[in-house]
């Protein structure tokens, strides 16, 4: 799949679920890997339409405080919910998240290995997976970039798909204000190619390869092989 093809692939029109799209990017079969913002705003109509996607595992990368304030709705007995924070949870550690995105991305690479492995493990089973965080661009973006890279998508195409979150979230014209879980007004900032590349580079700096990074955080060789076998054919 080319960068042009990725840019042309549609967002799924759920007004209560921003940035929802199939993230297979031509390296996974359609309908296998989805990404989005938090599911907490899904209406009854949205829940009905979500069920039609066939998602069987939801990977939630948010903190405990985010989940307590904006819990995902019940998605039914056929959907497995997995919560693994991508970043150190403020409820259990005093290790603060960097405010600056340039520092946040390599930090996520350092702290998010177990959460990314949860997504690898779920996807390697071969049933549809959705990955989300709060806004659906940074934590979700890095996780999906790893999954796409593992399946052989070229880095230029991985970056092109990553940058589509700016359009999907209305950030293509600049930052957008929002209120965090503590009621503090903040700015949601556009994603940046250099930030993603810095996170991927940090993974290689620390572990030598993407495979080693995942194996060191609990993935198995069998899971990586199974994931790579989930091509579009």
Is 20 in contact with 36 (CB distance < 8 Å)?
yes
Q: What is the pLDDT of residue 10?
A: 81
Q: What is the pLDDT of residue 96?
A: 79
Q: What is the pLDDT of residue 188?
A: 79
Task: Return d(Cα 69, Cα 181) in angstroms, integer.
Answer: 6
Q: What is the pLDDT of residue 5?
A: 54
Q: How many CA atoms lie within 13 A of 100 on its CB side?
A: 3
Residues in Cβ contact with 42 at an 8 Å cutoff, skipping those fewer than 6 apart: 14, 16, 17, 50, 73
Residues in Cβ contact with 120 at an 8 Å cutoff, skipping those fewer than 6 apart: 146, 147, 150, 214, 219, 223, 224, 227
Give the predicted TM-score (pTM) of the model.
Answer: 0.93
Tokens of 162: 């990553």
Which of 111, 100, 126, 119 minimizes the C-alpha distance to 195?
100
Stated as kind and residue range, the H or E segment containing 26 is none
The pLDDT profile of the chain, 233 residues, written as one tens digit per residue, is: 555 455 456 899 888 999 999 999 889 999 999 999 999 999 999 999 999 999 999 999 999 989 999 999 999 999 999 999 999 976 677 777 888 899 999 999 999 999 999 999 999 999 999 999 999 999 999 999 999 999 999 999 999 999 999 999 998 888 777 666 666 667 778 999 999 999 999 999 999 999 999 999 999 999 999 999 998 86
Which of 91, 102, 199 minimizes the C-alpha distance to 143?
199
Q: What's the alpha-carbon Rg for the chain, to the nearest Å?
A: 16
Q: What is the pLDDT of residue 19?
A: 94
């Amino acid at each position: 799949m080319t960068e042009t093809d990725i840019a042309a692939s549609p967002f799924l029109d759920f007004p209560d679920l921003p940035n929802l799209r199939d993230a297979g990017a031509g390296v996974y079969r359609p309908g296998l890997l989805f990404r989005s913002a938090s599911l907490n705003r899904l209406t009854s109509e949205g829940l009905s339409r979500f069920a039609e996607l066939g998602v069987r595992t939801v990977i939630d990368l948010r903190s405990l405080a985010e989940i307590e304030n904006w819990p995902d709705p019940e998605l039914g007995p056929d959907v497995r919910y997995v919560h693994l924070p991508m970043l150190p949870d403020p409820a259990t550690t005093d290790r603060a998240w960097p405010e600056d995105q340039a520092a946040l991305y390599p930090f996520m690479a350092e702290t998010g290995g177990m959460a990314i492995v949860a997504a690898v493990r779920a996807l390697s089973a071969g049933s549809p997976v959705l990955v989300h965080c709060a806004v659906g661009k940074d934590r979700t973006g890095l996780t999906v970039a790893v999954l796409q890279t593992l399946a052989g998508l070229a880095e230029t195409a991985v970056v092109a798909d990553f940058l589509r979150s700016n359009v999907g979230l209305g950030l293509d014209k600049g930052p957008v204000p929002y209120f965090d879980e503590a009621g503090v007004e903040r700015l949601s900032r556009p994603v940046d190619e250099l930030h993603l590349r810095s996170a991927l580079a940090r993974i290689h700096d620390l572990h030598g390869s993407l495979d080693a990074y995942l194996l060191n955080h609990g993935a198995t060789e069998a899971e990586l092989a199974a994931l790579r076998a989930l091509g579009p054919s």
